[in-house]
């Protein structure tokens, strides 16, 4: 079995469920050390069930049962002190960081003129400010090693608009601007920065959005996406393969790019 990331350390936000969890398990199987960061609690907006500390502990058990190494941290990507401490603990535990998968994110619906200031701020702070903060504290360690890869999990909504999702789309577009600028800043240090743009992914977030909208997860996916290929969504395994490729030497000349995994949505 290939263990392409043997001895590497990956820092993952939003690691307890969905895409983050899948990436954590896959990289552990590849021999990587995992720093798993997640809030592990429900937030006020959007008001659907989120991950829990039990989810983080379950991830820890699964990684360790498979012989992997993992550090879990329950914290808020909106709080610099939480992010800084998690990064420091991870570096002390594993000796450094090689890959950042900035994945923590939330989504909700609402017409732009009906959103409250608090709702707007909530999406921007988690999705965009959170990405900025985690990169802020990881980057000095990558610079020290003169290597590394930063992957921001954006969305197809980071490349086009979506009805009733202006705050979400704005936050995901913001990640593109952040990544492009950092790609320029960090190229002299051999550090690559890429944004990932999936269509809808089959994760618990669809259940939460369906709960808010009074519909089904499949209807949520079909309404939000409208993929060309006959699928309402892609799977977390597809995200895993994309992240593995971007983080690998196969993509060694990829930086400042937008990696699109959209089942044809953006061509429609």
Given a contact cutoff of 8 angstroms between Cβ atoms, the answer to whether 15 and 56 are in contact is: yes
- Whether the per-residue pLDDT at 222 is higher than 70: the answer is no
H-helix or E-strand spanning residue 9 = strand 9-13
Structural domain including 19 reads 9-261
Question: Does 268 map to a domain?
Answer: no
Question: Does 182 map to a domain?
Answer: yes
Euclidean distance between CA atoms 171 and 173, whole angstroms: 6
184-203: pLDDT as tens digits: 999 999 999 999 999 999 98
Q: Among residues 48, 137, 152, 168, which one is catalytic?
A: 168
Question: Does 204 map to a domain?
Answer: yes
Question: Does 1 map to a domain?
Answer: no
Given a contact cutoff of 8 angstroms between Cβ atoms, the answer to whether 101 and 20 are in contact is: yes
pLDDT band with cut points at 50, 70 and 90 for residue 161 = very high
In the three-class reduction of DSSP (H, G, I as helix; E, B as strand; rest coil), residue 173 is classed as: helix
- C-alpha separations of 202 from 18, 82, 177, 238, 246 in Å: 8, 29, 26, 10, 21
Question: Does 267 map to a domain?
Answer: no
Given a contact cutoff of 8 angstroms between Cβ atoms, the answer to whether 99 and 134 are in contact is: no
Give the contacts of 113 (CB within 8 A, at least 6 positions apart).
Answer: none
- Whether the per-residue pLDDT at 154 is higher than 60: the answer is yes
- Whether the per-residue pLDDT at 2 is higher than 70: the answer is no
H-helix or E-strand spanning residue 80 = helix 80-94
Domains contained in the chain, number: 1
Question: Does 66 map to a domain?
Answer: yes
Euclidean distance between CA atoms 20 and 22, whole angstroms: 5
The model carries a pTM of: 0.95
How confident is the model at residue 240, as a pLDDT? 98
Average pLDDT value for residue range 119-139: 98
Write out the two tokens for 95.
Answer: 């000796």
Question: Does 142 map to a domain?
Answer: yes
Q: What CATH number should be reported for the domain holding residue 91? A: 3.40.50.720
Please confirm, yes or no, whether 152 is among the known catalytic residues. no
- Whether the per-residue pLDDT at 225 is higher than 60: the answer is no
């Amino acid at each position: 079995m290939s263990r392409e990331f043997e001895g590497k350390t990956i820092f993952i936000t939003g690691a307890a469920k969905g895409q983050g969890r899948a990436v954590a398990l896959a990289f552990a199987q590849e021999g990587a050390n995992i720093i798993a960061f997640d809030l592990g609690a429900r937030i006020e907006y959007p008001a659907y069930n989120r991950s829990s500390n039990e989810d983080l502990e379950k991830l820890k058990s699964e990684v360790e049962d498979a012989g992997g190494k993992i550090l879990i941290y329950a914290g808020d990507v909106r709080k610099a002190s939480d992010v800084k401490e998690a990064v420091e603990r991870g570096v002390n535990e594993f000796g450094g960081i090689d890959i950042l998968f900035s994945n923590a994110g939330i989504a909700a619906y609402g017409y732009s003129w009906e959103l409250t200031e608090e709702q707007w701020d909530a999406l921007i702070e988690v999705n965009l400010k959170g990405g900025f903060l985690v990169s802020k504290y990881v980057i000095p360690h990558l610079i020290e090693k003169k290597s590394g890869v930063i992957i921001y999990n954006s969305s197809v909504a980071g490349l086009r608009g979506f009805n009733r999702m202006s705050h979400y789309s704005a936050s995901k577009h913001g990640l593109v601007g952040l990544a492009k600028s950092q790609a320029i800043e960090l190229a002299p240090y051999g550090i690559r920065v890429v944004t990932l743009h999936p269509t809808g992914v089959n994760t618990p977030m669809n259940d939460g959005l369906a709960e808010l909208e009074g519909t089904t997860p499949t209807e949520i996916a079909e309404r939000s996406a409208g993929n060309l290929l006959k699928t309402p969504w892609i799977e977390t395994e597809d995200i895993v393969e994309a992240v593995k490729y971007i983080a690998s030497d196969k993509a060694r000349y990829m930086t400042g790019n937008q990696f699109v995994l959209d089942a044809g949505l953006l061509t429609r």
